Amino acid sequence: MKILVINSGSSSIKYQVLDMESESVLASGLVERIGEPVGNLVTKFHPDTDQENKVTREQRIADHKQGMLAAISLLTDSEVGVIEDASEIGAVGHRVVHGGEDFHEPTVITPEVLEAITANIPLAPLHNPANLDGITVAMDIFADVKQVAVFDTAFHQTMPERAYMYALPYAYYAEDRIRRYGFHGTSHKFIAAETAKLLRKPLAECNLITVHLGNGCSMTAIENGQSVDTSLGMTPLEGLVMGTRSGDVDPAIHTFLHRNKGMDIEEIDAVLNKESGLKGLCGMNDMRDIHDAIAEGNKQAKIALDVQTYRNKKYIGAYMAVLGRVDAIVFTAGIGENDPKVRELSLQGMEVFGIQLDLEANAQRVKQPTCISSKESTIPVFVIPTNEELAIARETLQVVQG
Ligand code: AMP
């Protein structure tokens, strides 16, 4: 079966067509600047193979529907395309950011599901409406095909109350659903399944700490294959230090900024989400630039690296305490997969807990799942590339095949 995976943003649509027999990517593309005077459409056919063929088009793309139709016209193009027509798509998988407490697993989209995603808009005001745009368009174009919503939050719905409740007045939870939800669930679940394969153990018997370090960062404690705690909270702002997001801060800082700097709540929100994290500390949010700057003696860049990796270590320690037995620690995403220094610093001094890196293995850059811990390490440490599109496609296939 061929599956179309859609990740619809407010002004962009990312998509992939996968052949699920071989799990190969037939095409991957991006429609950008929807609604602007000139939009951009990039599709790579047979990406990362000898036959890779990149096609770029610039044209006005008025809305998501036009964007999707433009992408399909490329996908079905008689010269470069990879499908004959839209009917070759057997199912469509949609990334949906917030499923609230309504969705514990990927779900076939029905009118009731659409209503529930809409009802969760207050929890993800930027993301859920954009995801809904993608769904509406795809339901229109692929009317006879099953559409599946795969939620970023679903994997974490197994968290116990003690992990997901904030110590706030209970009514905030009961009336307004203010609680921790967690995100990046599709990635953590995918990594957990891949780790179980490496450990040759059923996932349901694995205790893992999965460390997703990209532009957004999160860590999950997985007990017997289920998420029991995760670092992102009600919104994707809590926890680790991210590219531009602060992660954990004293909530009283908001009041301080308001009282002493006259900032209003919108400004504070923007600073915490867009001007903080690595960028806030040193002006750069790409870890490669930060390493270059450190090499040139930039002190703030060193502080940014230290603050991020120290926070990672604190969370790893906390999740070891949560889990007791840990079968593996796994790094993934842009930084987690590519940055040996961040991995080394995040685990530095943890030999006493049975964690010891093989510095040579850690330094190697490979695209395959790799063990980077030494033989003496009682807890293995892995690097496993995440693949959210494949994860969504696998989940979609599972749902449509019942
Ligand atoms: P992601 O959100 O998973 O796409 O990760 C994006 C982030 O990964 C970028 O902002 C960089 O900080 C980081 N990154 C990508 N490649 C490298 C690399 N080779 N070394 C260090 N960091 C990297």
Is 215 touching ligand 1 by the criterion CB < 6 Å? yes
Active site residue 19: no
Confirm whether 280 is domain-assigned.
yes
Nearest CA to ligand 1 atom 18: 338
Ligand 1 centre from 218 Cα, in Å?
A: 14
Number of structural domains found in the chain: 2
The residue among 151, 178, 211 that closes a domain is 151
Is 287 touching ligand 1 by the criterion CB < 6 Å? yes
Is 340 touching ligand 1 by the criterion CB < 6 Å? no
Best mutation site among 338, 341, 366, 388 for ligand 1 pocket (most ligand atoms within 8 Å of CB): 338
List the 208-213 sheet strands across, edge first. 226-230, 217-223, 208-213, 328-332, 381-383, 370-371
Q: Domain check: are 226 and 325 in the same one?
A: yes
Q: Domain check: are 326 and 255 in the same one?
A: yes
| CATH of residue 89 | 3.30.420.40
Q: Domain check: are 365 and 222 in the same one?
A: yes
Is 289 touching ligand 1 by the criterion CB < 6 Å? no
pLDDT in tens, 59-86: 999 999 999 999 999 999 988 899 988 8
Index of the ligand 1 atom closest to the CA of residue 291: 21
Q: Domain check: are 102 and 211 in the same one?
A: no
Confirm whether 176 is domain-assigned.
no
- The percentage of residues in the chain with a pLDDT greater than 90, rounded to a whole number, is 95
CA nearest to 344, candidates 328, 333, 360:
360
Index of the ligand 1 atom closest to the CA of residue 386: 3
Measured CA to CA, the distance from residue 180 to residue 228 in angstroms comes to: 12
The whole-number pLDDT of residue 291 equals 98
Index of the ligand 1 atom closest to the CA of residue 342: 21
Q: Domain check: are 123 and 218 in the same one?
A: no
Ligand 1 centre from 288 Cα, in Å?
A: 7
Confirm whether 190 is domain-assigned.
no
Index of the ligand 1 atom closest to the CA of residue 278: 12
Stated pTM of the model? 0.94
Q: Domain check: are 113 and 220 in the same one?
A: no
Measured CA to CA, the distance from residue 293 to residue 304 in angstroms comes to: 11
Q: Domain check: are 140 and 262 in the same one?
A: no
Q: Domain check: are 237 and 357 in the same one?
A: yes
pLDDT above 90 for 234: yes
pLDDT in tens, 96-140: 999 999 999 999 999 999 999 999 999 988 899 999 999 999 999
Q: Which of 102, 133, 152, 339 is catalytic?
A: 152
Q: Domain check: are 298 and 371 in the same one?
A: yes
Q: Domain check: are 10 and 123 in the same one?
A: yes
Q: Domain check: are 124 and 239 in the same one?
A: no
Q: Domain check: are 126 and 264 in the same one?
A: no
Domain holding 377, by residue range, is 201-388
